Every structure is written in structure tokens, then in C-alpha cells.
Amino acid sequence: MEATVLQDNFAVQIDGVDLSTLDGDGLAEAKQLWMENKIAIFTGQDLNDDGLLAFTERLGPLFVHVQQNILGDGPDEVMYMSSMDAVAPVAGDLAWHSDQSYTPGPVFATILYGITIPEDGGNTLFADLAATYESLPDDLRAKVDNVKACYSPVKKGRPRRRPMKDDQIDELSDIWHPLVRKHPYLDRKALYLSPNHMTNIGDLSEEDSDALLEELIIHASKFVYSHRWTPGDVIMWDNTQVMHRRDSFPSTQPRFHKRTGFHLPDELRTPVAA
Ligand code: OGA
Ligand code: MN
């Protein structure tokens, strides 16, 4: 295993492993590197669904997306994210978010496996929200410490690219999580930002919440890693520590990824205030 950290404490590239068989000490080492650096990029993978699932399951309880109507034909735990999908195509850009922040126990890690990559665009960008928190000036820090925010799957003015059914929306009443949360295993705090889903911060109006969010996004933009995909890349990110977004890509160029994820154990699943 060869590990290279790409930015300050952010994004580690791991070469020379086969995820379908990675286990034991090697797996533990990779998981620790990932937690410390918040994103791990494994290069040169060739995985079928079973191999991808087996790797994911060795790291934690398997995640199934709450939005049942985009799960497709394969196993529910492997999402096919394709721009060529007739029912739920992946298209264009995607705004900053953290996966499933609008659920009571959001997914810990998302794993995205790149198979077909457009020639132009379609990068995935990640912002380090632990570094962002550390860098906040005192006045901003006072606005985020000891505050909760409301996370919703249907934010006004942000229609979902792959719409949710009404009964699914009804099941997810607005969820409040701490805006600054503790890492489940490390002594580290991070902002919990999912701008695409956050409606209110503390007792601020939606308008004032959005203004504060914009300020926080400006700080976060100093700590961004942008990934240009190569087929065979697997990226695993920590949804408790980073937010991510996707750059647009031309609709004429196919893009296909497979996605899995794993949860924290039950007793750590609910985000805890720092
Ligand atoms: C996701 C996601 C980013 C991408 O699947 O949750 O944000 O680059 N994907 O497609
Ligand atoms: Mn996402």
C-alpha cells in the first residue's frame, strides 16, 4: 500500500491495493488514513458489485438510500449513478451537500466508484469542514457553536434533480442536527454543512440563515480538493467532515459511477454536538 496525502490533512491517495480483497491490518490502516484525511482515493480498481459490496460491508453496516425510487435494478445497496439512465439520470452539476443530512442517522461514508468518465467536466469537489471550523474568526464561531440547524430533503428553490415521491417526503419531517459536530472517533470538530438541504440555522429566519451559510461557504472554499476522475478510481468520503458537490458535464458525454456507503454503529449514528 502506498499512501500520498494530497493536501494539508485532506485527501489521501492510496495506490497498490485491491479493495475486493483488502482485509485485516491493511484494511484497518486504510480506514485510519481515511479518517485522518477525510477522503481516500483508491486508484486502479476493477470491481464487480459483489467486490464493491464486500469492501463496503467490511467497514460498517451497509447503507441503503432513503429515496427508493432511484435504486434501480441491481442490489439496493449498490446505486447505479448513470447519465444514461432513462428513469433517474444523473445530469449536470450538483450543489454543496453532505449525504442524507436530512435523515436522523446520516450515512458515515459514501463510496463512489468511477466507471465511465466524461472528457469534459464532471469533477467531484470536496470541502474540508474541520479545517473550515478551525479557521473561523471568533465572531463567526460564536454564531455556529452550540447551535442546531434544520436539514430538509426539499429546500425551497432547490428542486431535487431526481425527485422524491410525496410519501417519502412526508416520512422525513425536518431534522435538526448540531451545526458543529464531534468526529465519532477522533478528537476533532467540524462544521456540519449541507447547504443544498439546510433551511434554518438556530432561530434565524430562512433569509438570515442563507446569508450565514453563504459566509460559511466562502470560508470553506479555501479548503477544497477537486477530483478529476480516472476510470477505476474509488473515492470514499466522510460525511461528518466534508461536504461535496459536482461540476457540470456535457449531456452528450456519458458518466457512470456505482455508489455504496456504510453507517456508524447504532450508538454513534445520531450526530453529537461538539
Ligand atoms: C452523490 C454525489 C457526486 C458526483 O452521489 O451523493 O454527490 O460526482 N455524487 O456524482
Ligand atoms: Mn452526494
Q: What is the DSSP letter of 129?
A: H
Which atom of ligand 1 is nearest the CA belonging to 122?
A: 8
Give the residue whose CA is nearest to atom 6 of ligand 1: 99
Q: Which residue has the cell 434501480?
A: 72
Helix runs in the chain, H state only: 24-37, 49-59, 129-135, 138-144, 166-171, 206-220
Angle formed at CA 101 by CA 157 and CA 88, multiple of 5 degrees: 65
Q: Return the C-alpha torsion angle 190, 196, 151, 33, nearest 10.
A: -30
Give the residue whose CA is nearest to atom 10 of ligand 1: 246
Q: What is the mean pLDDT of each run of 10 residues along the chain (274 residues)?
A: 96 97 97 98 97 97 81 82 87 95 96 98 98 98 97 77 72 88 97 95 95 97 98 98 98 96 97 94
pLDDT of residue 156: 66
pLDDT of residue 176: 96
d(CA 103, CA 226): 26
Q: Which residues line ligand 1 (CB under 6 A)?
A: 81, 94, 99, 110, 124, 244, 246, 257, 259
Which atom of ligand 1 is nearest the CA belonging to 79?
A: 5
pTM to 2 decimals? 0.95
**Distance (Å) from CA 134 to ligand 2 centroid:** 24
Which atom of ligand 1 is nearest the CA belonging to 229?
A: 8
**Distance (Å) from CA 137 to ligand 2 centroid:** 28
pLDDT of residue 243: 98
**Distance (Å) from CA 138 to ligand 1 centroid:** 33
Phi-psi region of 122 (alpha: psi -120 to 50; beta: other; left: phi over 0): left
**Distance (Å) from CA 94 to ligand 1 centroid:** 7
Ligand nearest, relative to CA of residue 257: 1
**Distance (Å) from CA 147 to ligand 1 centroid:** 28
Reading the block at residue 80, the C-alpha cell is 447505479
pLDDT of residue 242: 98
Which atom of ligand 1 is nearest the CA belonging to 123?
A: 8
What are the structural domains, with CATH classification, of the chain?
2-265 (3.60.130.10)
